[in-house]
Structure 1
């Protein structure tokens, strides 16, 4: 049976880590969980160690400092592939990605290389966001799609499933975005590798505990990078309809 690991990066998520791990374990009992902590000063790493000590399917990867979301995921991909996991899931620690929807994403992964939990296809939505934040997120996704010629609707979302085979084909050594732009960079690599990318609608829920790591500066930096990519021709250049076309799975 294919094995799955749910990767949860953390930085100062002590209040969120126990409930989100419990929800993952309840939603996909056969899956493993990897908590990747960037030396959180609030004790998140110690809490993660306690969870791992009480559950053999929970693991912790301690990183020495905060180097960005992308760096945490790339390290965790290496950890998971060394241990032979077949499917690698990206999931936020703050509860914005609902573990209860993960079975739908994993079902789609049986016939896809990459599955995106999408807020911007029919059936997808966000909860508890002010209108201006929704416009900023959706606008950033549209801008990136057009400039980089990506067919997917939600290119910045972080709730994803990758097959190990897909990651093998994606030339991860050339992924150089470690911050907010990491998700766009990974999708661009997937499309250029001619992988089958499927979008599944999700409900994204704003966090209720802790503080968001997102800021206007981070978004601006990402859009500057996307603009440079678009102007220098780094966008998706392949047009094989069997592999590049984005499939959208509604409920």
Structure 2
């Protein structure tokens, strides 16, 4: 099941869904629309009416990317899907990269379509966007010690059992740090992550959903998680040293 959240994506959603169905005809698609004022939900319903492998989940308000995916996960898990994909509606995640991610899925609990591993690339990004993404991922690796090059990536494939295992009920993050949150949970659970190179293309329709509030939420949450993790590391080291000294006595 490919989950595609939408908000004001009328100009791109049909192209994205049709691209996915063309390159991976075995997959089903769930469009999750947040009551888009531009009529995206109507287009989504038309796509579903024309293709039995496309369905639509209408939400009544814009409640954030994280909650959209959580609702989509719940829908897919209840329906019995064993593999769940996250994918943007605006074309920045190329449908042509999807087969490579799905091919890697049997080998991992989480497959990340990565911009920052060998073979990964970006197209049409302004320098400040690249700096923000590279710097953000370096900050995540520094604080959380995660062996992941692109923890903020939104093009990814989860094994259903991994989603059940990592505790989705406790996820509260909403913006782009939602991706870091789930990656961190997969790492902490000792599950396997594979990064597959993709080419990320800047949208050519609609407007970016990045905002100051999303950036602040990401910075605040990642910093809090990192400080807690480093504190736990330090406390564990002190405990180990204390036990070692006692044993030598």
Q: What is the CA distance between 1:149 and its match in structure 2?
A: 1.2
Match of 1:213 in 2: 209
TM-score (norm 1): 0.90
Could you list the per-position Cα deviations for residues 17-41 of structure 1 after superposition, in whole angstroms to 9, with x for gaps in the alignment? Answer: 1110110010101100000000101
Q: Distance in 1 between matches of 2:230 and 2:155?
A: 24
Question: Which stretches in structure 2 are left out of the alignment for 5+ residues?
Answer: 234-249
Kindly indicate which of the two structures has a greater share of residues assigned to helix.
2
- Number of residue pairs the alignment of both structures matches: 233
Q: Specify which of 168, 173, 176 is matched with residue 180 of structure 1.
A: 176
Q: Distance in 2 between matches of 1:72 and 1:235?
A: 32
Q: Specify which of 86, 92, 96 is matched with residue 88 of structure 2.
A: 92
Q: How does 1:1-40 map to 2 (within 5 A)?
A: 5-40=1-36
Match of 2:239 in 1: none
Q: Distance in 1 between matches of 2:231 and 2:19?
A: 37
Could you list the per-position Cα deviations for residues 4-24 of structure 1 after superposition, in whole angstroms to 9, with x for gaps in the alignment? Answer: x11100000001111101100
Q: Distance in 2 between matches of 1:201 and 1:124?
A: 4
Contact (CA 8 Å) 2:175, 2:217: kept in 1 or not? no
Contact (CA 8 Å) 1:149, 1:236: kept in 2 or not? no
Q: What is the CA distance between 1:234 and its match in structure 2?
A: 7.8
Q: How does 1:103-182 map to 2 (within 5 A)?
A: 103-182=99-178
- Give 1 or 2 for the bigger CA radius of gyration: 2
TM-score (norm 2): 0.91
Aligned-residue RMSD, C-alpha: 1.4
Q: Is 1:67 aligned to residue 63 of structure 2?
A: yes
Q: Which consecutive aligned stretches of 4+ in structure 1 deviate over 4 angstroms post-superposition?
A: 234-237
Seen in structure 2, the aligned counterparts of structure 1 residues 49 and 221 have a Cα distance that, compared at 3 Å, is same
